[in-house]
Every structure is written in C-alpha cells, then in structure tokens.
Structure 1
Amino acid sequence: MNIFDASWFYWAVGIAIGLPVGLIILTELHQVLVRRNSHLARQVSLMRNYLLPLGALLLILVKASQVPPGDGFVRVLTTIFGFLVLVLLLSGLNATVFQSAPQESWRKRLPAIFLDVARFALIGAGLAVILSYIWGVRVGGVFTALGVTSVVIGLMLQNSVGQIVSGLFMLFEQPFRIDDWLDTPTARGRVVEVNWRAVHIETATGLRITPNSMLATTSFTNLSRPAGAHKCTIATKFATTDPPNQVCAMLTRVASGLPQLRRGALPPTTVALGDGAYETTVRLKSPADDGAVRATFLPWVWYASRRAGLHLDGANDEFSTPDRVWDALDSVVGPELRLSLVEKRALASYARVVRYGADEVVQHPGIVPKGMSFIVAGSLRLTATTADGSVVPLSTLYQGAFLGVTALTRQPNPTGAVALEEVTVLEIDREHLEHVVMNKPTLLQELSRLIDERHSKAHRAIRGERVA
C-alpha cells in the first residue's frame, strides 16, 4: 500500500508540524500578555502547557495510530481534555468579563453569588456533555433522579430553602451593590461581599455577617443611593441664653471649613430646634466620612464656641484671665514689638488669649484681618491656595511668631494658617496696636519686610516654584 494513500500519514505530518508551530505561537503570545500584565496570560499558559500537547496526543492515538475512540485509555485522556477545556472556559470568562472590568462598572460591582451561579451552570453543562458523549451515560435519567431528590430535600429543609430563595430574590432585585453603604437594624457600614448565605458589612467595630433572609424581610437604608446625595446631621446643645442667630452662624462657619465636604454641593446649614438644641447638616463625599466629620467638627466647635463667647453644653470659659494675658504680653508680644512697661499695660485691657484646635484654620487667605495674633504655645503652618483650590504648605511658625501683620496696612492676608496642634494665641485689635507701632520706625520696616517675604512665598507657591 502506498504510504501517501494512508489517512494516518497526513494526520501524523500535520501533528508533527502543527504542534511545534502552535507551541511557538502560544509562547510568544504568553510573553506579550505577561509584559502587558494581562489577565489572560494564565489561560494562554494553560493552553500551551497542557491543552495543546494533550490534544496532539489524542489525535496521534485516534487518527494516526487508529486506536478506537471507545478504548478505556482514550476515554480517560478525552475526559481529562474535556475538564481542561472546562477550566479554560471558566477562568477565561472570569478574566475577560470581570477581572478586566473598570472599577466602577456593573461587572466589577456584581455580587459574587451571581458569579457562583454562572460557574455552577457552566460546570453542570460541561459535565453533562462529558458524561454523555465520552462515557455514554444517559444524562436525562440522572437529571430526573436529581429532580426527585431535590424535591425530597426541599420538603425536609423548606424553612432554610425559603430563606435562601428570599435572599436570592432580594439579590436579583439588587437594592445595593458592592461598596454601597447600608444602615440596617443591626449594622451600619460598607458592603464588601455578597454570597449565597449572607451579606458581609464592614463596620467600625468589625465585619458584620447579616443573613440574606434577614435583609429580605426587614427594611434598611442604602446610604449610597442616589449617588452624591449623602449628608450628615450633627446635634449640639448650647445654653438657652446664647443668641440663636450667633450660634447658628458659628456652627455653619465651622462646618464650612471641614475637609470632607463634597465639592459643588450646597453649603452647610444649621437650624435651632429650641431649648438650646441645634442641628448642623453637611453634604459629604461618601458615608465613609461620617465618623471623620464628627471627630473633626465637635472639637472645632468646642474651641470656636469659647472664642465666640458662647456656652457649648452650658459651660463657661474662663481661659483668658488677666494673668494669662499679662504673661503673654510680657513673654511673647513685648519682645517681638519692643514694648515698654507702659505700652504693655495699655494693651493688657484690649488683649485676650484664645485657643484653636488641631487642623483648625487660624487665618484665611485673601481677607483683611481685624488684628494681630501672637503665638503663645503650639505651632502653625502657613499655606497658600492655588487657582484650582489646592493648598500648598509654605513654612511653620512657632512660639513668638505672629499672624495678621497686614492688619496694620489694611491689606488682605497673602497666606492662610492652619493649626498643627492645639495652639494658644494672644489677639489684639488693629486700632489698639496702631498707637504703639506707628511710633517705632524700625519695627515698621521689619514688619513691611515680613509682609513682602510672605507675599513672595505665596506667589512662588501658586506659580509652582519651590519655596525654601
């Protein structure tokens, strides 16, 4: 018989040529995907190392060696090949549809339970094909037996199954997604995982596991919907003798400086509820900022209320005593402004000692200050604000430094100032300082030089140049 007339000859030649070429192509493709950090590199490696060689071996046995497909060894190899194809389909589907999905897309936020359902369906279909075509199993009878068994198990576990089904219906409705914030009767936090049995909610005290059936039968609030509409309400209480308008203005002013505010949203608002109670509402970027907002707002209100002469929780503030004022004038202001004893005594009745909390804004840029502030304790950071609203640090001021020097020239502040810790300052209004400073030409020259220096630093920072 002529060898060229044999069917196995062409299969053998095709496998001998195709297998090396296929290995080379898959190797080059795998290297390209690895360099690009592609999620498909693992699937190409599976095809190169296992699927292609095993497929070539099956073709050699069945087509070239004429081994019957019903042979036991061939069936085992074909079953392994089918399982590898099933693994390739599962991992490829996950890599192409979900792992490579954008962070905010529906594919990335799809609950894990739906992925499990899709995997089980694909595995079931694959096993049915393998059992039917390779081993000749009558799959219809198997499914019938499974159906009868499922009915029996369902009757035995109807309560548990009912809970699972109610949870599945809730998940199909999708009242929340991964990373949404929920407020349930038992937990408040961010959804981090959804599986067959429960929803995992990350709270401030740990991970709360809430059964799906519980969420399906109770009401809860999705704080993340509609997007960008979250707001936080903070309650405070003042003495009933404090003027409500002054309290509302102070609370709103403090809330307007919170760093967690959502850009472009409505400004904070404060309402008086009566009997000294007030509520301040702020619009936030995310429900995750609730704790940080409260932790920042309440300490700031404590300091701001005392500076404004208001009585938070009915408390009186007696911090600015005559002794503290005199100590600050004698140890800080006197040496800086070269004050005589008579001048210090003249300023003592017009000065007061106040405090600022950590991260609180002590000086706003672009505003004409009403007076000067001298640092008695603590430290401040001078800042400049660029055209896009970002804040650039300039330098740090310590005890003995002062702010509001442009009050004497009636110019806006070139820089802002933020407290790095609790800061104690002595404040003196402009009209009382003018009588003392205007008679000191050398001091005026030094103050003018300081104003020019801070102007220069602020302008360089706004232009993006490095500030020494």
Structure 2
Amino acid sequence: MGDWLQVGETIGKVIKVNWRSVYLQTRDQDSVVIPNSILAQGNFTNYNRPTPLHVERFLFGFSYDDPPNKVIRVLKETALATPGILKEPSPWVRVENYADFSIVYQIGLFIDNYETMLNIRNDFVIRIWYAAKRYHLTIPYPIQTEYQMNVAEMPKANPMQQVTEVMRSLPNFGNVAAERFIEEENASNIRYYAQGEWVFAEGERILGLYLILNGHATILVRNNQGENQEIACLGKGEFFGEKILLTGECSDVSVIALDDLEVAVLSPEVVATLLEQMPRLSQEFSELLETRRKEVIKAKNKTQEF
C-alpha cells in the first residue's frame, strides 16, 4: 500500500489490494483498477521498490553562444539548491546533441519521494529560468522569425535605466548619485531570483552591494542553536550586502527571496566611488552597518521561545 506504480500509460498510488485486483489512485484523483493477472505478467514499474530512489531526467536547450561548461555548472548549482533534489547521489549533466536552435543538455536528478516529484519538477524548472537570467544564459525560441527593420532607428537598450530610476527615488542618492553611476562602466549587473531561492548564504563571499529593484527579501541569521532568525524584511529601494564595504569580509547573514526578486549588484569599486564623493551617503551606510551588526549579534544569541 502506498507504492507508486506505472502500468502501461497509467501512473498511480496503490490505495487498495485484494485477491483479484490492485486499485490505483492517479494524480487526477481517478481510481483505476488493475487486474492481478496483468501485474503477474511483470509489465509494470514500481517507483518505491526496491528503494525509493528515483531519477528524473530533463532536457534543456541553451544558445550556441553559451559556453557548455558554464551551462553545466549553472544547471548543477540550480539543481542542488532546489528542495527535494538529493545531493547524494549528485545530479549529473551531459551534452545531448547539437540541435537546430540550441545545444541540448540532459540533466538527471535524484529524488527519494516519488509522490512529491511533480512539485520538485515544477520548482526546478522555474528556477532554471531565473538562473538563466542571473547568469546571462539564453534559452532560444524553437522558431525562426525574420525581421525587417532599420537598425539605425532602433532605440538602444539601457540596462541601467531601472537602476538609476530607483536611485533617484532614494533620499540620500538622488539625481547626483544616479548621474555619477551612469558614467561608470560595468557598474552593476541585474540578477533575478525565484521565490525561496538563496541570494547568498552565511559565510559566502559577497559580490557587491545589492539594490532591490522589485520584490522582497528576508535577511536571516543562524543563532547558537542552529536556527535561522529573521532580522529584516526588505523591499524595493532597500540595500543588503553592505558588508562588501569591509574589504575581504564574507557575509555573516543569509538572504532569501520572498517572492520574485530583481536586484542590481553594484560593484565594490562603484560603491567606493559613490561613498567617497557623497559623505552623506557614507554616513548612512556606516549607520546601516552598525545597525545590522547589532541585529546579527542579538539574533545569534537569541534562543527559541516555547
């Protein structure tokens, strides 16, 4: 009872067994009766025996411009960060073929609870989209479209426009900081995170100062009992990763996306320039560092209340 079987095209959980038949309940909540004579022929799959370990396979296509080793690394990282996917045995990725529109990669993921497989698949596939955005990978459309246009008349995309708009809305940034920011080359990159994804974990190296463009994030600290304590919930226009201002420091907090999260990661060099040219901004970040430091210490020493 409770095992997941596939008989022909039917997949369901065993909910009843008698001397004549086995009753399966499908994911659509339908009941299917399988005569024991069919099962006796041995043409079925049991996803729970002899072990509950199961491999799910996926095919993803990425652009020919994306280096294969980078794609493989991102796929593995995303898989290992998805709840329900086992770290041991570890996921595997290989190049399947060179297709018309993309390089096709196959990835195999190990799970030990087939009943949750659809939720795990959904979570993983969603996270792949965000990871592709985050690492500037391209998932090509499987079509060919011919456009006729005057390239000279096409408006040039400004990836920093949204960043500067948010900056202008902040009291201590304003137009001056935004204009200086625009002058910098490679000042930031935009990164996307799905709900529940880790932006970074405690002890990891911080890439820069994170400015939230859309969505919300929570800052967590692990206390002395190993439990995560929330010390802040941040939204559009707020910063985290301020410890990048301390050279060589790794993060003493973890940050998780509470919903679809879009952030600009300001490079340490640009942050240093802005702080040097804007003493008021430097004072604000000094106060932020001190406030967060106190919150971290308080959270680390906090015990769970019963």
Pairwise same-fold verdict (TM > 0.5): yes
Change (3 A) 1:349 1:241: closer
Higher alpha-carbon deviation: 385-394 or 337-346:
385-394
> Over residues 288-315 of structure 1, what are the superposed CA-to-partner deviations in whole Å (9 max), with x where a residue is unaligned?
2211111111111111112212112458
Length, aligned pairs only: 284
2:224–2:302: 8 Å Cα contact kept in structure 1? Answer: no
Change (3 A) 1:336 1:240: same
Structure 1: distance between partners of 2:227 and 2:59: 30
Given the alignment of the two structures, is residue 205 of structure 1 paired with residue 205 of structure 2, yes or no? no
1:394 counterpart (219, 226, 231): 231
Alignment of structure 1 residues 81-160 onto 2, 5 Å: none
Alignment of structure 1 residues 309-388 onto 2, 5 Å: 309-314=136-141, 321-322=157-158, 325-332=160-167, 335=170, 338=173, 340=176, 342-347=179-184, 350-385=187-222
Alpha-carbon shift at residue 287 of structure 1 (Å)? 1.0
Report the counterpart of residue 304 of structure 1 in structure 2: 131
For residue 438 of structure 1, give the secondary structure of its aligned residue in structure 2: helix
1:333–1:374: 8 Å Cα contact kept in structure 2? Answer: no
Structure 1: distance between partners of 2:276 and 2:205: 19
1:195 counterpart (18, 22, 31): 18
Given the alignment of the two structures, is residue 186 of structure 1 paired with residue 24 of structure 2, yes or no? no
For residue 192 of structure 2, give the secondary structure of its aligned residue in structure 1: strand
Report the counterpart of residue 284 of structure 1 in structure 2: 111
Question: As a proportion of its length, which structure holds more strand?
Answer: 2
1:334–1:344: 8 Å Cα contact kept in structure 2? Answer: no
Structure 2: distance between partners of 1:449 and 1:201: 62
> Over residues 249-268 of structure 1, what are the superposed CA-to-partner deviations in whole Å (9 max), with x where a residue is unaligned?
01111111111134x62332
> Over residues 94-140 of structure 1, what are the superposed CA-to-partner deviations in whole Å (9 max), with x where a residue is unaligned?
xxxxxxxxxxxxxxxxxxxxxxxxxxxxxxxxxxxxxxxxxxxxxxx
Alpha-carbon shift at residue 337 of structure 1 (Å)? 5.0
1:460–1:466: 8 Å Cα contact kept in structure 2? Answer: no
For residue 384 of structure 1, give the secondary structure of its aligned residue in structure 2: strand
TM-score, normalised relative to structure 1: 0.55
Alpha-carbon shift at residue 336 of structure 1 (Å)? 5.8
> Over residues 213-234 of structure 1, what are the superposed CA-to-partner deviations in whole Å (9 max), with x where a residue is unaligned?
2211242222212335223222
Report the counterpart of residue 443 of structure 1 in structure 2: 281
For residue 160 of structure 2, give the secondary structure of its aligned residue in structure 1: helix
For residue 255 of structure 2, give the secondary structure of its aligned residue in structure 1: strand
Change (3 A) 1:313 1:188: farther
Change (3 A) 1:232 1:418: same
Aligned residue type for 1:219: N
For residue 335 of structure 1, give the secondary structure of its aligned residue in structure 2: coil
Report the counterpart of residue 93 of structure 2 in structure 1: 270
TM-score, normalised relative to structure 2: 0.81
1:354–1:425: 8 Å Cα contact kept in structure 2? Answer: yes
Change (3 A) 1:309 1:215: same
Structure 1: distance between partners of 2:92 and 2:297: 34
Change (3 A) 1:411 1:227: same
Aligned residue type for 2:68: P
1:235 counterpart (28, 36, 59): 59
Report the counterpart of residue 150 of structure 1 in structure 2: none
1:232–1:283: 8 Å Cα contact kept in structure 2? Answer: yes
Structure 2: distance between partners of 1:360 and 1:426: 16
1:332–1:376: 8 Å Cα contact kept in structure 2? Answer: no
Given the alignment of the two structures, is residue 220 of structure 1 paired with residue 47 of structure 2, yes or no? no
Structure 2: distance between partners of 1:247 and 1:375: 26
Report the aligned-residue RMSD: 2.8
Structure 1: distance between partners of 2:304 and 2:224: 17
Question: As a proportion of its length, which structure holds more helix?
Answer: 1
Unaligned regions of 5+ residues in structure 2, if any?
A: 143-155
> Over residues 146-190 of structure 1, what are the superposed CA-to-partner deviations in whole Å (9 max), with x where a residue is unaligned?
xxxxxxxxxxxxxxxxxxxxxxxxxxxxxxxx1222232132232
Structure 1: distance between partners of 2:22 and 2:227: 39
Unaligned regions of 5+ residues in structure 1, if any?
A: 1-177
Report the counterpart of residue 166 of structure 1 in structure 2: none
> Over residues 12-63 of structure 1, what are the superposed CA-to-partner deviations in whole Å (9 max), with x where a residue is unaligned?
xxxxxxxxxxxxxxxxxxxxxxxxxxxxxxxxxxxxxxxxxxxxxxxxxxxx
Structure 1: distance between partners of 2:90 and 2:81: 10
Higher alpha-carbon deviation: 201-210 or 244-253:
201-210
Change (3 A) 1:460 1:208: farther
2:134–2:190: 8 Å Cα contact kept in structure 1? Answer: no
Alpha-carbon shift at residue 349 of structure 1 (Å)? 5.2
Given the alignment of the two structures, is residue 405 of structure 1 paired with residue 242 of structure 2, yes or no? yes
Larger radius of gyration: 1
Structure 2: distance between partners of 1:268 and 1:384: 29
Alpha-carbon shift at residue 460 of structure 1 (Å)? 4.0
1:179–1:191: 8 Å Cα contact kept in structure 2? Answer: yes
2:52–2:114: 8 Å Cα contact kept in structure 1? Answer: no
Identity %: 23
Structure 2: distance between partners of 1:356 and 1:418: 9
Structure with the larger RCO, 1 or 2 (CA within 8 Å, 6+ apart):
2
Alpha-carbon shift at residue 375 of structure 1 (Å)? 0.9
1:329–1:348: 8 Å Cα contact kept in structure 2? Answer: no
